[in-house]
Amino acid sequence: RSKSAGRNCFTIYDEAMSAELEARNTLEGDLRDAIAQCQLEVHYQPFVDALSGARRGFEALVRWRHPTRGLIPPDQFILLAEETGLIVPLGEFVLRRACADAAGWPSDLAVAVNLSPIQFKEAELFEMIGAALADSGLPPHRLEIEITESVLLERGSENHAFMERLKHLGIELALDDFGTGYSSLSYLTAFPFDKIKIDKSFIRNLTHQPRNSAIISAIVTLARGLDMSVTAEGVETREEYERLKALGVNFAQGYLFGRPQPIERILFDAPVKRSRRDAA
Ligand code: C2E
Ligand code: MG
Ligand code: MG
Ligand code: MG
């Protein structure tokens, strides 16, 4: 009896495995089609100067408008895209779209684009970024590239040289999700970042958690010493914002200032030039 139950369990497990594999293959095929058929969209979330509250730019965040499943958030397909290499064309699409859109915004607004560690392994990445800037006409100083510290763990010296080349072009570099990974303070001094983005997990419950305030305050002090600025991510409440201002954070981003939205939904003070693709 126990034997057959065991066998049954095994069968069920097996079926669940192949169902999962099948779902994954379907998703991979779908994602391949999505890139080819322009089902990917770039949404924009504002970030503001913490002291004045003035908008300084937007972070580009990819979404997948799936024909049957609706709008899929990046957490559900970025990992798959990285594992299959599809992150390379996906990342190029996002960067080109973001540069083209931002080129039409008022010139005091920057655009921040996330790059995956996998993209860093591409020999053509530097040329691709240069081409995205040239084709869109966006000045390099209005582009920020966000990377997570996992990029620094592997191929540290090659990536360091690459980052120096980007900085030389005038592009700003931000260290994303700071505090979540294997953060080593030595990365901060070893790599040429302009900005540290404190992960939203430190902002949550900020007003009830004195320990998080202590961490943020330490990061702000450290960043000042290294001539870097600090962004707080995931700011949702007025109380969090006030606390972060008092702690000396330079920039703030989060639902309090705006959710990620399609470009059509964003209001600009000055008229916006339409990008080449829209005009075509
Ligand atoms: P991220 O780069 O850290 O982006 C910030 C994430 O926090 C976004 O999630 C944003 O919607 C969310 N967020 C912003 N404000 C708040 C808030 O006040 N509260 C809460 N709870 N969340 C907030 P999203 O858009 O789902 O993106 C998730 C992650 O996917 C991003 O984290 C980034 O790592 C990755 N990602 C998004 N677009 C791209 C892309 O084009 N390329 C690559 N390589 N990764 C991307
Ligand atoms: Mg980011
Ligand atoms: Mg982040
Ligand atoms: Mg992230």
ipTM for this model: 0.97
Positive/negative CA dihedral, 274, 119, 45, 27: positive
Query: Greater confidence, 26 or 240?
Result: 240
pLDDT score for 1:
42
Q: How far is the CA of 270 from the centre of ligand 4 (A)?
A: 31
Both structure tokens of 91: 């990342």
Confidence of residue 92 (pLDDT cuts 50, 70, 90): very high
Residue 44 pLDDT more than 50? yes
Both structure tokens of 261: 């939205």
- Ligand 1 pocket member 112 (CB < 6 A): no
pLDDT score for 7:
54
Residue 68 pLDDT more than 60? yes
pLDDT score for 280:
38
Burial 55-78, CB ≥16 within 10 A → b, else e: bbbbbbbbbbebeeeeebebeebb
- Ligand 1 pocket member 255 (CB < 6 A): yes
Nearest to 233 by CA among 262, 266, 202, 195: 202
Strand 172-178 versus strand 195-198 pairing type: parallel
Closest-CA residue, ligand 1 atom 25, reads 61
Q: What is the dihedral of CA 62, 66, 67, 68, to 10 degrees?
A: -150
Nearest to 96 by CA among 178, 182, 35: 35
Confidence of residue 183 (pLDDT cuts 50, 70, 90): low
108 secondary structure, DSSP code: T
CA distances from 10 to 6, 7, 23, 133, 163 (A): 6, 5, 20, 54, 50
Residue 236 CA, closest ligand 1 atom number: 18
CA distances from 79 to 63, 73, 146 (A): 14, 12, 17
Surface-to-core class of residue 227, CB atoms within 10 Å of its CB (0-12 exposed, 13-18 middle, 19+ buried):
exposed
Residue 197 CA, closest ligand 1 atom number: 3
State in Å, rounded, how far the first CA of the chain is from the last one.
69
Confidence of residue 268 (pLDDT cuts 50, 70, 90): confident
Q: Which of 44, 45, 58, 61 to mutate to test the pocket of ligand 1 (most atoms within 8 A of CB)?
A: 61
Residue 6 pLDDT more than 90? no
Query: Using one digit for the tens of pLDDT, what is the confidence trace for 192-219?
Result: 999 999 999 999 888 888 889 999 999 9
- Count of CB atoms within 10 A of residue 35's CB? 17
pLDDT score for 275:
65
Residue 29 pLDDT more than 60? yes
